[in-house]
Chains A and B, each alone.
Chain A
Amino acid sequence: MEEPRIGVYICWCGTNIAKMVDVEAVASEVSSMPHVVLAKNYKYMCSDPGQELIIKDIKVHNLNRVIVAACSPRIHELTFRTACEKAGINPYLFEMANIREQDSWVHTDRSEATKKAIDLVIAAIRRVRFHEALEKRSVSVNPATLVIGGGIAGMTASLEIAASGKQVYLVEKADHLGGMVAQLDLTFPHLSSAQQIIHPLIQRVKNNPNIKVFLNTQIQQVHGYIGNFNTTILQNGNESVEIEFGNIIAAVGLKPFDPVVIPEYGYKKIPDVVTSVEFEQMLLSGLIQTSEGKDPRNVAIIHCVGSRNKKFHEYCSRVCCMTALKYVHQIRAALPDANIFEVYADMRAYGKGHEEFYAHTTHKQIIFLMFDQQTGLPRIRKAGAADKCNIIIEMDELLSGISIEVPVDMVVLMTNMEAHDDVKEVVRSIGVSLCGNQFFIEKHPKLDPVATTTGGVYIVGGCQGPKDIPDSVSQARAAAARILATIAQESVPVEVTTAQVNELLCCGCQTCVRVCPYSAVSYDESKKSSVVNEVLCKGCGTCGAACPAGAIKCKHFTDSQILAEIEGIMSLSYKY
């Protein structure tokens, strides 16, 4: 092994790290360690000048190992590996110490956080000495794409990819395309028809020779890796079809929350208390009428049903406020004399044209009534025989501070959007994680919002988090562009941190063959040794841990590297 020449860089991340970790102390503490040629600290290591600093030092000081102590490697490991590569050293001779997410952001004692940072950097220094150069490997890309979900996001992505002449398999579990948008009448803030948006799209998808649509279809476990996936899809519950594809877009959307669990609202118990989705159906039919077939004289629209309340969902569904304002226009047009009550907790008009829409709607002779979403949900009850209305809403009006009763004939509940019941099976089958709200987790919320940690798997539309039509379409096109770029390259780099068997040490027990979840290890009779198929191996390291002979090396997570890291990680806390 060549003599390690290590360069260490401690990032301030502005004040994110520097305010809790004494970055200068960390650099000076490790600067005299064996093999450390230099230790520097800098404001933003990931910035261009930060990366240039590394590149220049590698060349000037002939460094062959680099450590950056900064944010999580999940965020910038690739950035710095690329910088190393630019300077001519193998990207795997780099190591990162996580002193932001797992240090400065979670601790409150500066001296403790600094000590921890020093420990983590020392561990990285010890570990990086054992790093080995790994050669990049790439695989060919199957130009077909699997799109899961036939709503506006899935269809948009499919059309974008199909337009370049590539095959798309569009899988939809329902018996029709269109998703949520197909259930809407008008859209906000321009009050244009949702049907006129979605139906031409459905026709274009159906008529596109490059898009094969599978309705009533569920996906099964997806096998393979970026560029080379395959699965069996189950159509109509029994016909199985084998398909192969290089990339995946999940666009499974969300479903409306069922307000039956909120006792205050009496949904399904009190007639004429309807959800927003049911109200859309009414609007599509062209008639806003009570269950008795009469024109309602008073209509209340209740916001945040199932949203922004820890008992149901803590998050904001984003589209309901504007949809509720949209209803004002539609009700006012159909029933010019009706009284309209917007019963709201907060009005959120974050998007393009939304605030203007809100301002414009307030001139439509409507009454805004505010309630406390945490402690004072309005209570809906059926009106008595003597009342001149069907329903009475009791509420503590927040702005006036008085308790009131609102007589109405119809209540529209603006229901939250939540994950589908089968979302866990979907994410499991494609190797994506869910956040606490059951939304698909993106690779990076800001820098990589449509990719996931599984190469070749993208997430778009509502399943990534509630969003309106423009945002869903933007994501769909973004993911399609990412995939088309991969297809255009024809090959894609894959994980090189695979397992490797030392044939001299292998005793032939075949434990590794049995534990491998990907059937990547097989036993070669002629060599009397196990062998790893590098294309199938995903680098989990289970075989390496199971091998009783110590014959399997898990590249980049070798025993030597991990043990060296353990040796360094308690350097300051405990010395014996």
Chain B
Amino acid sequence: MEFRPTLVAFLCNWCSYTGADLAGTSRLHYAPNIRIIRIMCSGRIEPTFVLKAFQQGADGVLICGCHPGDCHYQEGNYKCLRRYKLIQKYTQQMGIEKERLRLEWISASEGKQFAELVNDMTKTLLQVGPSKVKGTLEVEHLKK
């Protein structure tokens, strides 16, 4: 069967999720393999979320936040950036290719950029191929 990459995206509510909505209101078309999860701020991203997505079968994980300096919560995107670098390090050690995890800044007005980003990442994932860690990771489901 033809490989169809699945892409899970975590979008901050204020900039990126609104940007993705704008792509919709502008009727910009992009690849349908993306599944978007809304979070309030990219600073909310925990390594667990990324790992969980890979465990569940994502071929790629995309995190989007406000542009530097534009964070609705002042500096959550900077915290996300630091955390992203760490997550990137150990997902690679786990054998997850670098291209599978991406952090990008999308503002509320960048519907077009969002649509292009999804298509671009989909294209990359098609080249990288199916994720090898599908179903092999153990990610504890924390209950608080």
Contact = CB atoms under 8 A, between A and B. Distances in A.
A98 B107 contact: no
Given A433-B109, A441-B108, A563-B52, A569 B37 contact: yes
A73 B21 CA distance: 10
B23 interface: yes
Contacts of B21: 72, 74, 98, 101-102
Nearest to A120: B35
A539 interface: yes
Contact of B43 (A116, A120, A540, A563): A540
A554 B4 contact: no
Contact of B134 (A123, A515, A558, A576): A576
A576 B35 CA distance: 18
Interface in B12-69: 13-15, 17-18, 20-21, 23-25, 27-30, 32-33, 35-41, 43-46, 48-49, 52-53, 56-58, 69
B140 to A, nearest CB: 9
Nearest to A554: B44
B25 A428 contact: no
B125 interface: no
A189 interface: no
A436 B28 CA distance: 15
Given A108-B29, A433-B14, A545 B134 contact: no
Nearest to A119: B35
Interface string A528-552: 0000000000111110111000100
B25 A557 contact: no
Interface string A113-124: 101100110010
Interface string B56-96: 11100000000001101111100100010000000000000
Given A72-B24, A567-B56, A557 B39 contact: yes
Interface string A514-528: 010110000000000
Interface residues of B, number: 58
A276 B29 CA distance: 40
Contacts of B32: 103, 106-107, 109, 112-113, 115-116
Given A433-B108, A553-B144, A541 B8 contact: no
Nearest to B21: A101
B52 to A, nearest CB: 5
B135 interface: yes
Contacts of A575: 57
Contact of B15 (A433, A502, A562): A433
Contact of B40 (A115, A539, A546): A539
A542 B76 contact: yes
A573 interface: yes
A293 to B, nearest CB: 48
A563 B141 contact: yes
Interface in A495-519: 497, 502, 515, 517-518
A542 B43 contact: yes
Interface string A416-435: 00000000000010010111
A140 B41 CA distance: 26
Q: Which of A517, A540, A567 has the most CB of B within 10 A?
A: A540
Contact of A102 (B36, B49, B110): B36
Contacts of A116: 32, 35
A501 B123 CA distance: 42
Given A107-B32, A433-B15, A517-B74, A559 B37 contact: no
A573 B39 contact: no
Q: Which of B41, B45, B144 has the most CB of A within 10 A?
A: B144
A3 B128 CA distance: 43
A454 B21 CA distance: 18
Contact of A542 (B14, B36, B73, B143): B73
A98 B36 contact: yes
Contacts of B73: 517-518, 538, 540, 542
A570 B48 CA distance: 17
Contacts of A109: 32
A546 B79 contact: yes
Nearest to A438: B109
B55 to A, nearest CB: 9
A465 to B, nearest CB: 13
Contact of B39 (A103, A119, A541, A550): A541
B6 interface: yes
11 contacts: A98-B38, A428-B69, A433-B107, A436-B110, A497-B40, A540-B41, A544-B44, A550-B142, A558-B144, A563-B139, A570-B35
Given A434-B109, A558-B144, A563-B139, 10 more contacts: A102-B20, A106-B23, A436-B109, A538-B73, A541-B44, A542-B44, A557-B40, A563-B141, A570-B8, A574-B57
Interface of B: 4, 6, 8, 13-15, 17-18, 20-21, 23-25, 27-30, 32-33, 35-41, 43-46, 48-49, 52-53, 56-58, 69-70, 72-76, 79, 83, 107-110, 115, 134-135, 139, 141-144
Query: What are the 7 A-B residue pairs with the smallest beta carbon separation, nearest first?
Result: A101-B24, A541-B44, A574-B57, A542-B43, A540-B73, A112-B32, A576-B135
